[in-house]
Structure 1
Amino acid sequence: MIRTAIFGLGKVVEQIHLPACLSVSDIQVVAACEPVAARRDAMKERFGIPAVYADARTLVETEKPDLVIVATPPVTHYELSLLALENGAHVLCEKPFMRSLSEADDIIAAADQHHRLLVVNNQYRFMATYHDTKQRLEAGEFGRPYFIQCWQQMYHPANTDATPWRADLKQSTLYEFGSHALDLMSFFFDDLPETVTAIIPRVRLEYDSDVLVQMTLQFPEDRLATLAFNRVSRAPERYLEMRVDCDEASLRLSLGGVARASVGMNRADGRLAPSARFSYVRGGEARAEAGGRSRVIARESNPAFASATATQLRQMIIDMQQPALTNAKARHSREILRTIFAGYESNRQRTTVAVSDITLASIL
């Protein structure tokens, strides 16, 4: 059994990490820490956590866990991840990963030094909506992917978030959520972007965070991606939408619930033909579209945030048991963080930025 401790008992732990841990047979949650006494006691009772502590140091020194899940505000990620690594634990860190590239480099070096695994919880790639689509891409079913569009629309400016650390972020939407979209782009292209062109206008003066983000990313081999996040949109909410255009089909991936019914005319083989489509899921769905037809290739009836995290934990346990540990996944997360910083720098300079030129960067 993997003795597991959790730093932080906020909403992400309640909704994702504890349900994920409880569904993995090899994990035994032995303790958690949380500075707020009422929250600490309530979560202990609800989930049957054997021991709860007010501070992380007392926990690790007393319980000596094999694995620590760091699910606290990002300002504490470096300090708490280092504490866990120095006390012999592997670490699953929530995103956003670190506040700066130097913190990311230092914590990866510490993980290597202590021969421990460090992983960031970019769990979307483990959802069937994305994982099954990737498998079909690798099998060559749709041809070469060459263009990805990713967008989000909702009315949720950071300043109004009920979680204080999120409400205080000035660089919020791209930093706090963008890692998921950028990780998925890299997942489907099997590569990292080379250049970034970003525009982050202040469209609502009452909000000083990045409520509107538009990015164009150039990938190797003449591949392109765009990202558009609008957190002050009055349109119907779309949590995360993607379109992956390939040589033989266009793939539409939706996360956050899908309820669509449509009848239309599509051109196929040089003529117009009627088409109908119906989708209703609370989780996610992927469709392949070609020749005027649309078919489901992956579907999750219910939200998969916790189950995808459980899948990532199972893979992490396998990786922890390998004779030669590698922190390649943490280094990938570092590159995703660098791409985020490249976006902010591109907006500041009002020009295209090479991601490789970003060497010293931190969140504001």
Structure 2
Amino acid sequence: MSSPRPPFRVGIIGTGGIAHAHADALNALSPRVEIAGVVDLDRARAEAFADRFGVDRVFADAGDLFANEELDLVHVCTPPQTHASLAIQAMRAGVPSLVEKPTALTLGEVDELEAVHAETGVPVLTVFQHRFGAAARHLGALVDGGELGRPLVATCETLWYRADEYFDVPWRGRWDVEGGGPTMGHGIHQFDLLFAIFGRWSQVSAFAARQLRPTDTEDVSMALVRFENDALATVVNSLVSPHETSRLRFDFEFASVEVRHLYGYTSEDWTFTPAPGHEHLATRWAEGLDSGGISGHRDQIAAILDAFEAGEAPGVGLAEARRTLEFAAATYASAFRGVAIAAGELSGADPFVRSMSGGIVPWAPVKEVLA
């Protein structure tokens, strides 16, 4: 009888708000995993974080962490403009990384990540935790098995509210350090799950606007999407919606499946409606649905550890993350150029490969508006 493997050792880079969700998830998975050390430029904040989550070691920078700890995984929980450089540093140290969304600020940065991955073989994973909730996994299995028929129509809405004060944090609402507005930083979780269920998108036609918020980026975007399998979808991302909701509805040939939640769903947040003549599918849905908990970082981290133990590729890897990020870039390109954008069209020296804004944001800079 083989003895159990020692705990997975992980590090956390960045100890701001989102890092608390990571640490809570990791501690919930104890003793399977342990936090070996944390990094933050703000020493006091790092020490307070370490005290709260029972971590023994605090480091001033990522290089010190990699030099002094044997790690199985590092969590990158820093502002978006640092994600790519830290993931590259982790790859060169031989440590897989789990990077908060977005993986990188631009498609060009993702291409750099893919080049280093090809050189080192070390994975870079992105936090897209909604893929890993019990209901989403069950739905994916039904779709993969062809039980629901063809995917036909979907609606993807991330209607949230953020007051002006939310953007007092220096890196929020700026193209150069956050990459974009709700399309990049908020709705990306929802439409990533849309693509995980409906498949590859092939074309997008979009609008984006800055309606209210004091940002350089959009605070609303809307897109019409065609998929390679000829399904159609609408995708709406907003930070100006007082009645907040996150909603995904999938209409298949034999059933409609819908989830309504805000920042994370439970299995009870999903509804299943069979088409006439396919009532047996309601039983199939209910029988295979694990009640589970709220979708969150814990589910994805557990799946990553399972993959490590099985010697399999964990999700969500760079190829899939790039397709999701490419959709964000295509949404901006379509909105600002006023044309439909096909998958794969943004490449090479295209300005939207180098920046999500493409350098052609139609509204005036905030400083001019507020002057």
TM-score bracket, normalised by the shorter chain, equals 0.7 to 0.9
Q: Is the 8 A contact 1:216 1:227 kept in 2?
A: yes
Tell me how far apart the structure 2 counterparts of residues 171 and 354 of structure 1 sit (CA, whole Å).
20
Q: CA deviation at 1:77?
A: 0.9
Distance in 1, Cα, partners of 2:292 & 2:125: 27
- 1:244 aligns to what? 250
After TM superposition, list the pairs within 5 Å mapping 1:1-364 onto structure 2. Answer: 1-15=7-21, 17-24=22-29, 25-156=31-162, 160-161=166-167, 163-168=169-174, 169=178, 171-189=180-198, 191-204=199-212, 206-234=214-242, 236-238=243-245, 240-256=246-262, 285-290=269-274, 297=286, 298=289, 302-318=293-309, 321-322=311-312, 329-359=317-347, 360=350, 361=353, 362-364=355-357
* Structure 2 unmatched runs, 5+: 1-6, 358-371
Q: How many residues align?
A: 335
Deviation at 1:307, TM superposition (A): 2.4
Change (3 A) 1:300 1:9: farther
Cα 1:32/1:338, change in 2 over 3 Å: same
The one-letter code sitting in structure 1 at the alignment partner of 2:228 is: P
Normalised TM-score (structure 1): 0.83
Matches of 1:326 and 1:21, distance apart in 2:
17
SS in 2 for 1:154: strand
- Structure 1 residues 81, 146: CA separation in 2 closer, same or farther (over 3 Å shift)? same
| Worse overlay, 26-35 or 282-291 | 282-291
Q: Using the TM superposition, name which of 339-348 and 291-300 deviates more.
A: 291-300
**Post-superposition shift, 1:159?**
6.3
Amino acid at match of 2:24: P
Q: Is the 8 A contact 1:7 1:32 kept in 2?
A: yes
Output one character per residue of 1:164-197: Cα deviation in whole Å (capped at 9) or x when no partner.
42344472100112321222121112x2111111
Q: Distance in 2 between matches of 1:158 and 1:317?
A: 42
Query: In the TM superposition, what is the alpha-carbon distance from 1:153 to its structure 2 partner?
Result: 1.9
Deviation at 1:139, TM superposition (A): 3.6
CA 1:200–1:257: 2 relative to 1, 3 Å: closer
How far the C-alpha of 1:329 sits from its partner, in A, is 2.3
- The alignment's TM-score, normalised by the length of structure 2, stands at 0.81
Partner secondary structure for residue 99 of structure 1:
coil
Going from structure 1 to structure 2, the CA distance change for 1:257 and 1:121 (only over 3 Å counts) comes to closer
Greater per-residue strand proportion:
1
Question: What is the alpha-carbon root mean square deviation over aligned residues?
Answer: 2.8
| 1:2-44 alpha-carbon deviations (Å, 9 max, x no partner) | 32111111111112x1122223344222111011122111111
Shift of 1:85: 1.1
SS state at 1:166 partner: coil
The Cα of 1:89 is off from its aligned counterpart by 0.8
